[in-house]
């Protein structure tokens, strides 16, 4: 079931009512680092999907305290740190990880997930049994775990395009949140958060130039420590500032040419290959490209199976192809994930600044503008659409605006789409609450940084990191993200907001930091994102697909959606009344997930090797 996540070895520990299973992708101590790994007297065992970048100094420290190591693996520091520090070991780790430690003396299981959620961890408890694993499909291999769909999870998915933690798409299965530990004892289970970014201590002790120089040093350091590997490595290169900066830092630190990988489209509005080529030529990389065609829609059922939950970000398509391309040449690939969330790279950050400037407009006029915009009905993309969306957002609070930007089906759209029976099953639950909680709890003193903080806690782990982890590991490739280094992120959180977004564009201080590396056309280009030309595909090559799948009797009979609203969404999109491509894609992925995962037959034979229980 999970061979793709670990094709190199299989390890099993089963004793005294506890079982740990691991499929290993060998990167550090390839020859001797198979798991589970134990402490000296084999009373503590660990399995981990992890890279601990500071394991060498930790190892030296532990050796100095008398610990004995049996491998050269980075994972072994976990069992010895646990012996000394217990749950507090997570504070000493610099890396990405989801691990499980079984303490046989205390009959206790400790699981933990890294600070930003690079590595996933699903878990479930029924009675005295606890299951956990890196993918939800592994848990479903046990016949004792049913496949009841979580309606709360589905409603949240329709809103956000992903199922947010701690929910999963299945009743009784949860996601361990990022920066959290899970303690399981005979007395019960406890989930505890151990880290969060602090935006309250804004630093003004040095000039912007000095801090830009320090930022560049941190990028180089964060990149360098992610080059540790005994297997080939390269980089995903989009030609944006973040991935380009990572390639530039790699070029400073590696011997030989950096291998780079890029994905493009025939449509110029979505194609970034020309930008990636500029960077590849500048740093003389060993560059590889792939162009995605509309027939990539054939990938949809495979995506639904691989993600295990409904996942509505269409950039999973190019991510999947990118990982497949890289997997032909390397086992580790660095990327630029996280730069937008630390340095305000998304367009919504500029929109938030612009709307904040209009706070002086009397509320009555703002409400009038919103009513006029709503009266216009659905509006397609372009300037008219942006103006209409801005007018609709004017009377809302900053938090409500943020939720609107992050929602594919907002409350009004869900009201039109969902059947009365489905709404009743939600018992009043509102998906926007998954955004409102982090927004309210943020330490940020302004709306821009509150958006950044909420993105780091929700969108980053729920959408971006899930997308990349599943796509990369499906091809046995490990993705590493220097911009998600905790020290770099903590440094950024303490910078003044205007140094991240100057009111006109984001990444102001980042551009200054990497300006000596990158050409002006890369620094000053418009952000494109990793989009897919779905709007045109659903009007041309894939015109018939939405109706064939969404209006099929199997789909309609699930009782989730009003058929009339599905017909309206498809018709409005195809008649150019509105761009509903994101909504159509999300609905397609939900239905295909039902067919490929929920209704798929189980095979419990692989459970012992693909899952762990205690």
Domains 3-195 and 208-292+310-344+459-523 share a fold: no
Cβ(53)–Cβ(484) below 8 Å: no
pLDDT for residue 605: 28
pLDDT for residue 352: 77
What whole-number distance in Å separates Cα of residue 22 and Cα of residue 30?
15
Q: Taking the complete model, does pTM exceed 0.85, yes or no?
A: yes
- Dihedral of CA atoms 422, 426, 432, 433 in degrees, nearest 10, equals -170
- On the CB side of 275, CA atoms within 13 Å amount to 28
- Give me the sheet containing 188-193, strands edge to edge: 37-38, 44-52, 95-103, 108-113, 180-185, 188-193
Taking phi over 0 as left and psi of -120 to 50 as alpha, with beta for the rest, 179 belongs to left
Cβ(263)–Cβ(318) below 8 Å: yes
Q: Is 603 helix (H, G, I), strand (E, B) or coil?
A: coil
pLDDT for residue 265: 86
- Dihedral of CA atoms 176, 182, 185, 187 in degrees, nearest 10, equals -80
Q: DSSP characters for 63-115?
A: HHTT---S---TTHHHHHHHHHHGGGGGGG--EEEEEEEEETTTTEEEEEE-S
Kindly state the tokens that stand for 396.
């809302």
- Give me the sheet containing 259-265, strands edge to edge: 286-292, 259-265, 233-236, 332-334, 478-480
Mean pLDDT, 10 residues at a time, over the chain (614 residues)? 87 91 95 96 97 98 98 98 98 98 96 98 93 95 90 98 97 97 94 96 81 97 97 96 98 96 86 93 96 80 95 93 96 97 92 66 56 55 53 72 92 96 94 95 93 98 97 97 98 94 90 96 82 89 94 95 97 95 96 94 32 32
Is CATH 3.90.1300.10 the right assignment for the domain spanning 208-292+310-344+459-523? no
Cβ(255)–Cβ(228) below 8 Å: no
Cβ(323)–Cβ(472) below 8 Å: yes
pLDDT for residue 603: 38
Give the single-character DSSP code of 515: T
- Could you state, in order of their start, the residue ranges of all structural domains in the chain? 3-195, 208-292+310-344+459-523
* Domain range 3-195, its CATH number among 3.30.390.10, 3.60.20.10, 3.40.50.2000, 3.30.465.10: 3.60.20.10
């Amino acid at each position: 079931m999970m061979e793709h996540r670990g094709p190199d070895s299989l390890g099993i520990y089963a004793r005294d009512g506890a079982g740990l299973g691991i499929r290993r992708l060998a990167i550090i101590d390839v020859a001797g680092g198979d798991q589970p790994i134990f402490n000296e007297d084999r009373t503590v065992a660990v399995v981990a999907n992890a890279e601990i970048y500071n394991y060498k100094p930790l190892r030296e420290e532990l050796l100095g305290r008398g610990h004995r190591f049996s491998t050269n693996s980075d994972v072994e520091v976990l069992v010895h740190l646990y012996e000394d520090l217990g749950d507090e070991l997570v504070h000493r780790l610099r890396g990405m990880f989801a691990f499980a430690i079984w303490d046989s003396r205390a009959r206790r299981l400790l699981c933990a997930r890294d600070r930003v959620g690079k590595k996933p961890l699903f878990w479930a408890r029924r009675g005295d049994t606890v299951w956990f694993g890196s993918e939800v499909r592994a848990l479903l291999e046990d016949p004792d775990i049913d496949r009841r769909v979580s309606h709360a999870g589905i409603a949240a998915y329709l809103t956000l395009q992903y199922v947010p933690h701690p929910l999963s798409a299945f009743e009784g299965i949860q996601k361990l949140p990022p920066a959290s530990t899970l303690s399981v004892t005979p007395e019960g289970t406890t989930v505890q958060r151990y880290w969060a970014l602090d935006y309250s201590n804004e630093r003004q002790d040095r000039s912007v130039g000095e801090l830009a120089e320090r930022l560049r040093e941190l990028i180089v350091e964060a990149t360098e420590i992610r080059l540790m590997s005994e297997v080939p490595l390269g980089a995903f290169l989009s030609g944006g500032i973040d991935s380009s900066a990572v390639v530039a830092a790699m070029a400073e630190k590696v011997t030989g040419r950096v291998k780079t990988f890029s994905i493009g489209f025939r449509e110029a509005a979505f194609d970034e290959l020309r930008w990636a080529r500029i960077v590849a030529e500048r740093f003389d990389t060993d560059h590889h490209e792939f162009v995605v065609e509309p027939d990539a829609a054939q990938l949809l059922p495979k995506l639904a199976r691989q993600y295990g939950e409904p996942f509505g970000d269409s950039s999973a398509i190019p991510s999947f192809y990118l990982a497949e391309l890289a997997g032909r040449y390397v086992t580790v690939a660095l990327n630029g994930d996280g730069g937008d969330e630390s340095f305000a790279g998304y367009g919504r950050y500029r929109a938030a600044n612009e709307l904040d400037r209009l706070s002086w407009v009397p509320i009555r006029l703002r409400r009038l503008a919103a009513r006029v915009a709503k009266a216009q009905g659905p509006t397609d993309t372009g300037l008219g659409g942006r103006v209409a969306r801005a007018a609709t957002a004017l009377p809302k609070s900053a938090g409500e605006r943020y939720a609107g930007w992050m929602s594919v089906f907002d409350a009004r759209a869900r009201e039109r789409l969902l059947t009365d029976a489905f709404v009743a099953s939600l018992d009043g639950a509102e998906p926007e609450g998954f955004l409102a909680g982090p927004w309210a709890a943020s330490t940020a003193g302004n709306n821009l940084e509150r958006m950044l903080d909420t993105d780091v806690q929700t969108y980053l782990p729920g959408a971006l990191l899930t997308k990349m982890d599943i796509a990369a590991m499906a091809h046995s490739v490990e993705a590493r993200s220097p911009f998600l280094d905790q020290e770099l992120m903590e440094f950024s959180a303490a910078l003044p907001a205007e140094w991240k977004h100057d009111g006109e564009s984001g990444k102001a201080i980042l551009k200054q930091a990497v300006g000596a590396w990158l050409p002006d056309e890369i620094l000053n280009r418009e952000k494109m994102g990793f989009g897919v030309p779905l709007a045109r595909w659903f009007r041309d090559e894939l015109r018939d697909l939405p109706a064939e799948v969404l209006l099929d009797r199997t789909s309609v009979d699930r009782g989730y959606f009003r058929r009339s609203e599905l017909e309206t969404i498809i018709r409005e999109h195809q008649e150019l009344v509105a761009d509903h491509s994101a909504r159509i894609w999300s609905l397609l992925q939900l239905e295909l997930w039902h067919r490929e995962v929920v209704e798929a037959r189980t095979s419990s034979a692989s459970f012992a090797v693909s899952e762990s229980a205690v």
